[in-house]
Amino acid sequence: MDDKGKIVGSADVDENLALQVWTKDHSPRLVIFNKNKNTKKMIHFSWIEKKDRKLTINGAKRGQTISYLVEDFLPVIRQIIVEYAQADQKRFLQKLKQFVVDFDRVVHSPELITNKKDLAMLSEDKRSSLWLADCTGEDKRTGVFQPFFPYDSKEAEALTEERLTIGPDGHGADVLLRSGVVALLKKANPLRWHNPVRLMAAAMLMGFSFCDEDGSEFGDSLWVDKAPQATEPSFAASATPMKTPVGLSAFSLHTPGLMQMGHKLVAYIRHFDAVDGIESGEAMDGVKEMEGRGYTRTRRFDFQEKTIGDVPYRVTFYENAEEERMGLSCEPRAATARHKGELLYTFPTASYKKALKEDTRNATEDDFYTMTQLVWARQFRNWYDNVSPYIGKLIGLV
């Protein structure tokens, strides 16, 4: 292993086990080193995201086995990640700094609207953006950037007419970023605008999951020296083979393989104020659990795979008039290793009604879309809370 790369971080768990970081021209790998047998296993850091996972190794004595829970590795893994970053500091920090800039361009890439009718009936791709470039006037080269998210009074100070005007320079992300709007939003509410993008960028580079999706091949390609970059993300370029250098033109929020991660991130930012009120859990019998908590079934939807998980789900919608809450039980229609039983989500009725309007710009409301958005927002928050203890301090989260 060492002749093909190098170990840049190592710490003992105990006298039987050590954890290490290995790196060579792509995202780092976690190495599980059985000191008794002098054997190593190399895996992506996404492996540690399942905290109740059990690791069993052979002991020094014949027939002996030793078991560990992944959640117990947190202090050691945090230590070796810091060692890795310090040993490869220049390259890692350079990559992180540049990719945060690139990722900001992707996250804040506006969707162009040139027909006023489209504003009343937005496609799902356009609804999955944080910004609309409204060029529906007579001169299609000019217009205004419209925020497609709710904002408070402090954030509103960044959204001045001068900064949001679309002129001769174009209607893309670079123009929006140069206006200073995004930087001011980060200053006004860093937990919403700074932390999620920075954590997502670092996780992609470090080999964590793309918000529960496998992004290992794409993550590795980020470490290849980049080709010259285009000024705007291109959906057509998403077909670029992942083994080629990844530049800004190689992906967008709608790129296959990254779509789930990107759309969950947007849902989290848009519904940032609602996320804390969304509760998630699991149950072997969702209907029994929800009815036992005073919820009444109202309707049912079938969600295709890659909507709220890696398999199709039958989703039952509930209401609890007394508690003024709504809920979902999500029954997988095929085998999944991501959870046991059914997924459960509950949220205040007021938050749901508010989200319906925020997802459609006060046009036609879409139950199916908003349910998905709230689930995505909670899923992103769960993933964020899972990953940030490992790398949050290292990458400067607020």
Whether residue 354 lies inside any domain: the answer is yes
Q: Is the domain of 67 the same as that of 148?
A: no
CA dist list (Å): 368 to 49, 127, 311, 352: 29, 13, 17, 12
How much is the pTM?
0.91
Whether residue 81 lies inside any domain: the answer is yes
Q: Is the pLDDT of residue 211 over 60?
A: yes
The pLDDT value recorded for residue 250 is 57
Give the 3-state secondary structure of 47-83: HHHCCCCEEEEECCCCCCEEEEEHHHHHHHHHHHHHH
Q: Is the domain of 145 the same as that of 62?
A: no
Tens digits of residue pLDDT in 77-93: 999 999 998 887 788 88
Q: Is the domain of 79 the same as that of 134?
A: no
Give 72: exposed, middle or buried? Use CB within 10 Å, 0-12, 13-18, 19+: exposed
Whether residue 62 lies inside any domain: the answer is yes
Whether residue 254 lies inside any domain: the answer is no
Helices (H), the chain: 74-87, 89-107, 116-120, 124-127, 153-156, 161-164, 173-178, 181-188, 190-193, 195-206, 216-221, 259-270, 272-275, 286-292, 349-358, 367-391
Contacts (Cβ under 8 Å, ≥6 apart) of 4: 24
Q: Is the domain of 70 the same as that of 129?
A: no
Tens digits of residue pLDDT in 138-182: 999 999 999 999 999 999 999 999 999 999 889 999 999 999 999
**CA torsion sign, 198 to 371 to 188 to 166?**
positive
Q: Is the domain of 295 the same as that of 385?
A: yes
Higher per-residue pLDDT: 185 or 226: 185
- Domain count across the chain: 3
Q: Is the pLDDT of residue 351 over 50?
A: yes
- With CA atoms as reference, report the closest residue to 299 among 368, 370, 350, 378: 368
Whether residue 263 lies inside any domain: the answer is no
Spatial separation of the C-alpha atoms in residues 174 and 176, rounded to whole Å = 5
**Is-contact 293 320, C-beta < 8 A?**
yes
Whether residue 157 lies inside any domain: the answer is yes
Whether residue 210 lies inside any domain: the answer is no
The pLDDT value recorded for residue 227 is 44
The pLDDT value recorded for residue 122 is 86
Whether residue 191 lies inside any domain: the answer is no
Spatial separation of the C-alpha atoms in residues 387 and 46, rounded to whole Å = 9
Tokens of 212: 């529960």
Tens digits of residue pLDDT in 288-335: 999 999 999 999 999 999 899 999 999 999 999 999 999 999 999 999
β-pair partners for 56: 67
Q: Is the domain of 286 the same as that of 381?
A: yes
Domain that holds residue 303: 273-391
Tens digits of residue pLDDT in 364-378: 888 999 999 999 999
Of 165, 185, 205, the position where a domain reaches its end is 185
Of 54, 87, 120, the position where a domain reaches its end is 87
Q: Is the domain of 71 the same as that of 116?
A: no
Spatial separation of the C-alpha atoms in residues 77 and 90, rounded to whole Å = 21
**Is-contact 207 46, C-beta < 8 A?**
yes
Q: Is the domain of 81 the same as that of 7?
A: yes
Q: Is the domain of 147 the same as that of 77?
A: no
What mean pLDDT do residues 50-64 have? 90
Q: Is the domain of 282 the same as that of 310?
A: yes
Q: Is the domain of 125 the same as that of 56?
A: no
What mean pLDDT do residues 230-237 have? 33
DSSP assignment letter at 362:
T
Q: Is the domain of 319 the same as that of 373?
A: yes
Q: Is the pLDDT of residue 2 over 50?
A: no
Of 21, 53, 87, the position where a domain reaches its end is 87
